[in-house]
């Protein structure tokens, strides 16, 4: 595989790759699409883990009841403060769960698109690297 001979220095790099169908450019496109695909796949995995952790924290802290560790004199104030703080944390984690769900949906769409692009690049590369004898069979 040799460097692309169709490269014209008058074009933008992206335009060059899109317009060239030599094996060098097709291989570069496939490698780029595969790396991008793997990146999105990894991000989705991490996002799903974060969503599970946020959901777990919401369930765990939503069921909890503040305990009376301060005695009866301070119990009303401490209980109210603890309920307020727990409410704020629950709200924060619910908001974060929504953000993670939207990001996951966006990445899932990108993942499907990139998977198709990667597969198309692979097919184009396989076609370009077949010898003429293989093309006739």
CA distance 54 to 92: 10
What global pTM score does this model have? Answer: 0.65
Look at residue 2 in the predicted model and tell me its pLDDT: 56
CA distances (Å), 115 to each of 29, 36, 51, 122, in order?
A: 13, 9, 23, 11
| Tokens 């802290």, residue located | 61
Cβ partners under 8 Å of residue 19, min gap 6: 6, 11
d(CA 126, CA 123): 5
The low-confidence residues of the chain, meaning pLDDT below 70, are: 1-18, 62-75, 131-137
Per-residue pLDDT tens over the stretch 75-90? 677 888 888 888 888 8
113: left (phi over 0), alpha (psi -120 to 50) or beta: alpha
Looking at residue 16, what is its pLDDT?
55
CB 121 within 8 A of CB 33: yes
DSSP 8-class letter at 10: T
Position 32 scores a pLDDT of: 94
What does the block give as tokens for 58? 């919401």
H-state helical runs in the chain = 13-19, 23-63, 72-129, 132-136
- Specify the pLDDT at position 54: 82
Query: How many Cα atoms sit within 13 Å of 89 on the Cβ side?
Result: 17
């Amino acid at each position: 595989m040799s460097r692309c001979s169709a490269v014209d220095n008058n074009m933008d790099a992206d335009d060059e790759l899109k317009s060239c169908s030599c094996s060098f450019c097709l291989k570069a496109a496939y490698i780029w699409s595969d790396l991008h695909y793997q990146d999105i796949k990894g991000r989705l995995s991490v996002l799903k883990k974060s969503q599970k952790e946020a959901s777990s924290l919401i369930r765990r802290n939503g069921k909890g009841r503040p305990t009376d560790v301060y005695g009866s004199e301070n119990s009303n104030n401490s209980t109210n403060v603890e309920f307020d703080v727990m409410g704020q944390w629950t709200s924060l984690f619910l908001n974060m769960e929504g953000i993670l769900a939207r990001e996951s949906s966006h990445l899932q769409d990108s993942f499907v698109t990139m998977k198709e692009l990667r597969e198309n690049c692979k097919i184009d590369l396989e076609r370009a690297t077949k010898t003429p004898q293989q093309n006739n069979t």
